[in-house]
Amino acid sequence: MSLLLQALVGGLLLGGIYALIAIGMTLIMGVMRIINLAHGALMVMGMYISYALFKHFGLNVYLGIFVAVPALFFVGYILQRFIIRRVTEIETVLPETQVLLTLAIGLAIIELLRTIFTSNYQTVEIPGVSDNAFYFAGISMSYAMVIGFAGALILIAGLHFFLTGTDLGRSIRATAQDSEAARYMGVNTRHVTCITFGLGSALAAAGGILLLPAYYLYPAVGNAFTLKAFIITILGGMGSTVGAITGGVLLGIVESLAATYWSMGYQDLVGLVIFLLVLVFLPGGLQTLFKRK
Amino acid sequence: MGREPIKYIIPGIIAVALPFVLPGYYVHMLILVLLWITLATSWNLLGGYAGQVSFGHALFFGLGAYGGGLLFYFFGISTWWGMLVGPIWAVIVAIPIGLITFRLRGPYFALAMLAVAEVARIIFNSWTSFSNGAVGIMISRTWGGNKLPYYAIILAIAGLALYVTRRLVRSKFGYYFLSIREDQDAAEALGIPSTKYKLYALIPSVFFTALAGAFYMNYMAFIQPDVVFDLTDISIMMILCVMLGGAGTQWGPALGATVYVLLAECFRTIPVIKEVHLLAFAIIIIGIIMFLPDGIVGSWDKVSRCFARPKAAAAGAAGQYEPGPEAKEGLRKPEA
């Protein structure tokens, strides 16, 4: 019983951070209607910025967020403004050209990081945080994961207030609902898509950094996280923030249960199989289950 | 029509004669080039012509490689039987996968295929009693260091893949594939059973991918799940090779594959930056998609116009035909 509770709590904490990463992807998918396959690569880029600051200047990894997140916002903005937007406006043989472009961008970022930092596994040890845990009702909780989960919740709440309470946030939501109507209402949709791409990248970077003290880091880890973010987005239904949170927590718990009761090797398999089943049988995500009733 | 055979005989003779002239290292490179031409060409049949962009073709490459590998591992049978068993096995696996995933469209199909391929990679990695796990399967090469027989085999496979693609695309099937790519709903309204024709594109595509995988097993003599089912190095590279040369063209994938392999080899000879070939390739692809979104062969009009401009101006050929947007919108001819 305590093993089950332990697995559930571990999954919940991990899922919260997954949710933050996936919200970035959901936001981009909702506004631009494309799947951003560079998402994991952008996340890893943020993680490496924080890692490099820690390594060379001894800056606390969590404080690295304040450098890496604006940096990734800038990178995302530039990518959308000067590279991706070009391709969304032209006719091509394959309709998926934009998706393939983000794929190539992701590959370029990962290879760039590999060139600079090598493919070696890196870990960031914060004494008292990475290697320490406290017990709550007989369940051990790692400090790193609890801090990460709390940070993710704060950022998600902040994003919620930004999207509902500010003019720019409302413009983003309007563009996601109907970009042409938004344009008629005077929203500069081009600017909004660039901002959204920057915001999505920044959220991914923040999620990655919150995960950093409890995780290991190597360039290709980005591919796994792109897939995870996409799985969560499909589980939760596209463009839905609440859906992304549910999907993230669900994936975290499922992975944690699979790792506890089956084997570490099959941990990722369960998420993929659920993803395939949802994609084929519930294309609108899990929320269609509740709507039908 | 009369000059048609000559166009193929001369490159054919060159292709057969090359390995006798070049030293062994270059023959190895040619083998890799032909392997990648086979992979890119077979991906192009499903992705470029029928428009079903698959991110999971490493699945079929890996199944092809493991077809022979498992025969050797369990029964001690020569891995050359894998050249027969691998493709058949892969096609048998591919048909139900296709029937399910073809219900999905566009990026969702692409990512469902990616998920299926990752599932296969995890199973082959973790189910040790079935596949020998991450240790992989090792054989001894039939012809040792002699590369000529391998070259002959992969040349035949690549030639066959190109020939079959050409025949298919020029037949009724090719037009059906294109109509599904351009507008699936319109194609179905015209009475084209889209799932059936997507399967007709999938089967040869899977067959040749798996055949290349089976060849890889015999040539490299060592396979591991993380190598043959690899997302970046197999699935994505196949797509990027096609994007470089031009999706939905006969020779585009071959050009893309050649550039990819040669680029990797060129960078490998430069000592300091030998690892950056993938970075360079990715940047080239980004540039190609931005400026020539239909690939080098697919946008050949644009490319040749860039080079021809000074001459054309000198010759006073001002009235050159420029295809308008409506010409681009229409169905492309299968041969670019």
pLDDT value at position A238?
A: 67
Q: Count Cα neighbours of A81 within 13 Å in the Cβ-side half-sphere.
A: 11
Distance between terminal CA atoms of chain A? 32
How confident is the model over A236-285, as pLDDT tens digits? 876 678 888 888 999 999 998 988 888 777 888 888 998 888 888 887 77
**Degrees, nearest 5: CA angle A70-A85-B55:** 95
Beta carbons of A266 and B294 less than 8 Å apart: no
Beta carbons of B118 and A112 less than 8 Å apart: no
- Beta bridge pairs of residue B137: B223
Beta carbons of A268 and B106 less than 8 Å apart: no
pLDDT value at position B135?
A: 87
Contact, A22 vs A187, CB < 8 A? no
The yes-or-no verdict on residue B320 having pLDDT over 90 is no
pLDDT value at position B322?
A: 45
pLDDT value at position B129?
A: 85
Beta carbons of A94 and B51 less than 8 Å apart: yes
Average pLDDT over residues A86-107: 84
pLDDT value at position A18?
A: 92
| Portion of chain B with pLDDT greater than 70, in percent | 88
Question: Which of A227-236, B33-42, B118-127 reaches the highest mean pLDDT?
Answer: B33-42
pLDDT value at position A109?
A: 94
Q: Pick the closest to residue A38 from A234, A232, A230, A226 (CA basis).
A: A226
Whole-number average pLDDT of chain B: 85
Of the two residues B198 and A234, the one the predictor is more confident about is B198
Of the two residues A240 and A202, the one the predictor is more confident about is A202
Contacts of B295 in chain A (CB under 8 A): 93
Task: Tell me if ipTM is over 0.85.
Answer: yes
Average pLDDT over residues B129-137: 85
The yes-or-no verdict on residue B239 having pLDDT over 90 is yes
Beta carbons of B289 and A269 less than 8 Å apart: no
Please tell me which residue of chain B has the smallest CA distance to A238: B108
Contact, B124 vs B134, CB < 8 A? no
Please tell me which residue of chain A has the smallest CA distance to B233: A107
Distance between terminal CA atoms of chain B? 17
Please give the structure tokens belonging to residue A98.
């934009």
The yes-or-no verdict on residue B330 having pLDDT over 90 is no
The yes-or-no verdict on residue A292 having pLDDT over 60 is no
Beta carbons of B119 and A230 less than 8 Å apart: no
Average pLDDT over residues B298-324: 59
Q: How confident is the model at residue A35 (pLDDT cuts 50, 70, 90)?
A: confident
Average pLDDT over residues A155-175: 91
Whole-number average pLDDT of chain A: 87
| Portion of chain A with pLDDT greater than 90, in percent | 35
Amino acid found at B293: P
pLDDT value at position B295?
A: 87
- Give residue for tokens 């190095």: B233
CA distances from B330 to A89, A92, A137, B209, B323 (A): 18, 12, 67, 30, 11
How confident is the model over A115-128, as pLDDT tens digits? 888 888 888 877 76
The rounded distance, in Å, linking the Cα atoms of B71 and A130 is: 47
How confident is the model over A177-195, as pLDDT tens digits? 888 888 898 888 889 999 9
DSSP state, A139? E
How confident is the model over B170-221, as pLDDT tens digits? 999 999 999 999 989 999 999 999 999 999 999 999 999 999 999 999 999 8
pLDDT value at position A199?
A: 94
Q: Does B112 contact chain A (CB < 8 Å)?
A: yes
B189: closest CA of chain A, how far (Å): 20
The rounded distance, in Å, linking the Cα atoms of A107 and A21 is: 19
Q: How confident is the model at residue B1 (pLDDT cuts 50, 70, 90)?
A: very low
The rounded distance, in Å, linking the Cα atoms of A276 and A283 is: 10
The yes-or-no verdict on residue B94 having pLDDT over 80 is yes
Beta carbons of A35 and B126 less than 8 Å apart: no
How confident is the model over B28-74, as pLDDT tens digits? 999 999 999 999 999 999 999 999 999 999 999 999 999 989 999 89
How confident is the model over A64-80, as pLDDT tens digits? 899 999 999 999 999 99
Q: Pick the closest to residue B117 from B90, B157, B81 (CA basis).
A: B90
pLDDT value at position A125?
A: 77
| Portion of chain A with pLDDT greater than 70, in percent | 96
Q: How confident is the model at residue B3 (pLDDT cuts 50, 70, 90)?
A: low
pLDDT value at position B157?
A: 95
Beta carbons of A230 and B232 less than 8 Å apart: no
The yes-or-no verdict on residue A91 having pLDDT over 60 is yes
pLDDT value at position B272?
A: 66
Q: Does A93 contact chain B (CB < 8 Å)?
A: yes
pLDDT value at position A195?
A: 93
Average pLDDT over residues B259-266: 89
The rounded distance, in Å, linking the Cα atoms of B65 and B214 is: 4
Average pLDDT over residues A110-118: 89
pLDDT value at position B166?
A: 92
How confident is the model over B139-160, as pLDDT tens digits? 888 887 788 899 999 999 999 9
Q: How confident is the model at residue B309 (pLDDT cuts 50, 70, 90)?
A: low
Please tell me which residue of chain B has the smallest CA distance to A89: B290
How confident is the model over B68-90, as pLDDT tens digits? 899 998 988 888 998 999 999 99
SS3 B138: strand
What residues 153-182 of chain B have any CB closer than 8 A to a CB of chain A?
Answer: 181
Average pLDDT over residues A44-48: 94
Contacts of B283 in chain A (CB under 8 A): 108
What residues 259-278 of chain B have any CB closer than 8 A to a CB of chain A?
Answer: 273, 275-276, 278
